[in-house]
């Protein structure tokens, strides 16, 4: 993961576990579960980013994430820094932002949506490398048959996020 420097971080509690928030000068650059998260930053990168108590982007992100878990915010309005991804990954991540809360799509449909219908596996890899869990809603992508597949934060968290958004939680 090629995350930008200089960055600042903050850890916030959520019903699904502590979430590490990362801000770059351009905006929110990362949200990863502290425990049981694949594809997060290395220990060396984490150590290079100062932890802060207050920061405008991190504080706003923390408030919006808390409201999301209370069922009061289906979309986020935070400046995002997606620059750590390739152009293809950024296209996929921007497409994820278009999936409404409470709805899902498949990897194939997402590939078609970005105009790359034969790139289903590459789309899946980009979804899996999404650095902004919850905020960029990769949890809304399901397998072709509607099965719960791959989520860097774990399938139980993916299931919980989908249930929260459907109002069944």
Q: What positions carry a catalytic annotation?
A: 138
Tokens for 123? 């789309």
Q: Given CA atoms 26, 80, 20, 72 in this order, what sign does their dihedral have? A: positive
Q: What are the angstrom distances between the C-alpha of 142 and each of 32, 59, 155?
A: 20, 31, 11
CA-closest candidate to residue 129, choices 46, 37, 62, 64: 37
CA-closest candidate to residue 127, choices 89, 78, 165, 84: 89
Please state, in angstroms and rounded to a whole number, the distance separating the CA atoms of residues 24 and 15: 25
Helices 120-128 and 87-96, interaxial angle, to 10°? Answer: 80
Under 8 Å between Cβ of 113 and 12: no
């Amino acid at each position: 993961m090629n995350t930008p420097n200089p960055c600042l971080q903050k850890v916030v509690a959520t019903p699904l576990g502590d979430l590490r928030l990362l801000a770059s000068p351009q905006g929110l650059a990362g949200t990863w579960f502290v425990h049981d998260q694949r594809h997060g930053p290395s220990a060396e990168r984490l150590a290079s980013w100062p932890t802060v108590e207050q920061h405008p982007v991190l504080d706003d992100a923390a408030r919006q994430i808390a409201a999301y878990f209370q069922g009061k915010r289906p979309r986020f309005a935070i400046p995002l820094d997606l620059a750590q991804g390739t152009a293809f990954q950024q296209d996929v991540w921007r497409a994820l932002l278009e999936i409404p809360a409470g709805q899902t799509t498949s990897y194939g449909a997402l590939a078609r949506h970005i105009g790359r219908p034969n790139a289903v596996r590459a789309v899946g890899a980009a979804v899996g490398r999404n650095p902004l869990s919850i905020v960029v809603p990769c949890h809304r992508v399901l397998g072709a048959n509607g099965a719960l597949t791959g989520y860097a934060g774990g399938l139980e968290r993916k299931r919980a996020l989908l249930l929260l958004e459907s109002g069944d939680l």
